[in-house]
Amino acid sequence: MTTLKDIAKACGLSITQVSRALNNHKDVSEETKIKVSEIAIQMGYVKNMSAQRLAMQISNQIALVVKGIEDENELMEYNSVYPILCGSTKYATQHNYEIAMYIIQDDIKSYVKYFQQKGIGKAILFGFEYNDIRFLELLESHYTCVCIDIPIEKENKGCVITDNTLYASYAVEALIKSGKKNVAMINGKSQAIVSIEREAGYLVALRNHNLEHRQKYIFDGNFDRVKAESLTFQIMKDYPDINGFFCASDYMAMGCMNALQALGKKIPQDVGVIGFDNIPMSRFIKPSLSTVSQNDFNKGYEAAKLLIGICENSTNTNVTRLSCSLEIRQSI
């Protein structure tokens, strides 16, 4: 295998000069860079990134650390982790970084120690609960982190977020404007910041239209399709006047629709349904699901961009805010 030493000998240069030429350093002339590059190609040289990092005592590896994938059934359906991984990988590779993915289980006692054991220096965090003591400890550590969907802004920490409250209010208002005045909400996990924000949006929409807020109309579906389906059967039994559902995720909305159709309810004539996420299959079910569209690929891309910017001191902000859009289909 061709080494820097071999190329240096062929070029009549030192190993340091060859290394700096191949790494496009400004103090090396363009003529020398071209000469070294051509000889390296002729000799079949392949850069050893791992060796380079060790020599420079730096790491261009970014960890995508994911929490919350503990049910194997979740892996059988659409999961936002994959597009986030693709988006972060695209930006990272364009800027000579690489992504390594870690799936963290709930039995980990300390996320800081986990980072130490795995040699993680900088990370994109997804799926964490904002009030988890282990998570808060990680935010106080020296590690450089960017959180997806959790607002955080402090030294060497940042976030990529959407305005869940605003777009949830738009979703509920769409239901109300379609004539549905008795709107229930099937929320996600009570400790998830997105659930808290989307519930706030639900309440904003009710207030904006002078509709009574009933806490009994808000239910915890745990972002689970099967649980949402079971909940809907019970909700319609206990509160038959419900004629609209806002679900904090598309999967829960699909479970809700399954139950409504099993009960003989026509969607949207009898009951309207709107979700959140715009997962691929939402447009193909019958009736097609109205939803709030957010771009998970872009979340990953922007998270990698922000993290690298923080690491390289090339950004003047630690917060990236992404926009969403309302997709009105057949379910309302």
On the question of pLDDT at 136 being above 80, the answer is yes
What is the rounded CA–CA span in Å between residue 275 and residue 262? 19
Are residue 39 and residue 102 in the same domain, yes or no? Answer: no
Query: Which H/E stretch holds residue 174?
Result: helix 164-177
Are residue 171 and residue 284 in the same domain, yes or no? Answer: yes
CATH of the domain at 100: 3.40.50.2300
What is the rounded CA–CA span in Å between residue 37 and residue 41? 6
Q: Which of 38-47, 144-153, 204-213 has the lowest mean pLDDT?
A: 38-47
As to burial, measured by CB atoms within 10 angstroms (0-12 exposed, 13-18 middle, 19+ buried), residue 172 is buried
Domain range for 122 is 61-162+296-323
Mean pLDDT of 24-53: 79
Q: Which amino acid, residue 330?
A: Q
Are residue 65 and residue 50 in the same domain, yes or no? Answer: no
Mean pLDDT of 237-265: 97
Are residue 81 and residue 105 in the same domain, yes or no? Answer: yes
On the question of pLDDT at 71 being above 70, the answer is no
Residue 78's pLDDT is what? 63
Domain assignment of residue 328, yes or no: no
Are residue 32 and residue 153 in the same domain, yes or no? Answer: no
| Burial call 79-105: b when 16+ CB within 10 Å, e when fewer | bbbebbbebbbebbeeeebebeeeebe
Are residue 259 and residue 269 in the same domain, yes or no? Answer: yes
Mean pLDDT of the chain: 91
Confidence at 51, pLDDT banded by 50, 70, 90: low
CATH of the domain at 15: 1.10.260.40
Q: Which of 54-68, 93-107, 192-206 has the lowest mean pLDDT?
A: 54-68
Task: Report how many domains make up the chain.
Answer: 3
